[in-house]
Amino acid sequence: MMRGWHPNVRRASPVVTLSLAFLPLAAVVTDTSAAQSPRTIYISADMEGIAGLSDTQDAVGRRLMTLEVNAAVVGAFEGGATSVVVNDAHGSHANLLQEDLDPRARLLRGSLKPYGMMQGLEASHAGVVFIGYHGRAGSLGSFAAHTGSGRVADLRVNGRSVGEGGMNLLYAAWYRVPVIFVSGDDVAVQQVREMVPGVTGVPVKTGIWNSAVVTLSPDSARAAIRRGVADAVREIASRPQRPGSPFNVELEYASSLFADIAEGIAGVERRGPTTVAFSDNEYPAAYRMIRVLYKHLQP
Ligand SMILES: [Zn+2]
C-alpha cells in the first residue's frame, strides 16, 4: 500500500531478475535483506505541546504543528525509517495542513476514529513518536493539561494515574511497539519518561501554571526534534513486553453528571459520586471504552 514512493521496492524488470540468478548467493541475500526490512515509524501528533503556542486557536497553530511534525518525519527518515505514518490526534483530528506535510508521510486525518490518537498503529511498526503532547489532567505547570477531554479529573489504569501519553503508550505496548520519542511540554515528557525510562524526550516549552508558557522558538524546537527522532530511530533495540491483563480502569469525572450516564453502560460500575470503573482483558477494547467514557457521552 505504501510502497509506491519507495525506490527499493519497485518491481524489477525480467531482465534484472534473470541477471540476479547468476550473481553469487551472498550478494543476492544481502541485497534482498536491505530491500525487505521495512522500518515504519508511527507519529501521533497533538497540538498543546507544540513550541510557540499558548493558545490552540492561534492562527498559526496548524502551521506550527505541521512544521514540527515535518521535523519529526525528516528525522525519522534520517534515522533509517523506510516509511512514516502520521496520525493527526488533536481535537477535530484535522489540523495538519495536508499540502505542507512532508510528501513521504502517509496521513490519518479526521474524526471519529475507533482508536483515536493511536489509530493506524500496527504490530509491524518499528517505533512510536509522540509530538506536541501535554500533561495529564490535574498537572500543575503544564499548558492546557487534560486527559482526553475537560470532563476528566483523573484516569487510572491498574491504579496508576495516566494521561494521554500513558494511555497511548500502553496501546503501543499492547502491540509490542516501543515508544521511542516524545516532545511537548516538560511535564508531558516527564510523565511519559516515568513509564518508558529510556525514551528520548525533547521538552519544547514549560507551563506557567496552565495557560501561559515559556517556549523555545519553533525553529529551535524543530531542530531538536529532528535530531532527537533521528537518534531515537537509529537506536531502536528491542520490543517492550506486552502489559499484563486485566486492565482495571477507573475514570474520575470532574462532575457527577457523566458518572450518572456512564453507570448505565453494561460492564461499567459506579465507584463513587464522580467515579466509574470497568475491566477488560484486551487493552485496545479498554482504550475504546475509555474514549467513549471521556468523549462521547451526551447528557
Ligand atoms: Zn491532547
Cα 164 to middle of ligand 1, angstroms: 6
pTM of the model: 0.88
pLDDT at 56: 96
pLDDT score recorded for residue 10:
35
* pLDDT greater than 90 at residue 33: no
- pLDDT band of residue 235 (cuts 50, 70, 90) is very high
Residue 55: is its pLDDT beyond 80?
A: yes
Q: 52 and 140 in contact (C-beta within 8 Å)?
A: no
Q: What is the mean pLDDT of the chain?
A: 90
CA of 135 to the centre of ligand 1 (A): 9
Q: Residue 32 Cα, ligand 1 centroid: separation in angstroms?
A: 41
Please return the burial class of 17, using the count of CB atoms within 10 Å of its CB with bins 0-12, 13-18 and 19+.
exposed
Cα of 145 vs centre of ligand 1, distance in Å, is: 8
Q: Which single residue is written with the C-alpha cell 521535523?
A: 71
Q: Is the pLDDT of residue 257 over 90?
A: yes
Catalytic residue among 90, 93, 134, 146: 146
| Cα 133 to middle of ligand 1, angstroms | 6
Give the pLDDT band of residue 14 (cuts 50, 70, 90). very low
Q: What's the pLDDT tens digit per position in 63-77?
A: 999 999 999 999 999
What pLDDT digit, counting tens, does each position of 81-95 carry?
999 999 999 999 999
Over residues 252-276, the mean pLDDT reads 98
CB within 8 A of 112, min separation 6: which ones? none
Rounded CA-CA distance 21/246 in Å is: 52
CB 188 within 8 A of CB 49: yes
Annotation says 146 is catalytic: yes
- Does position 117 have pLDDT exceeding 90, yes or no? yes
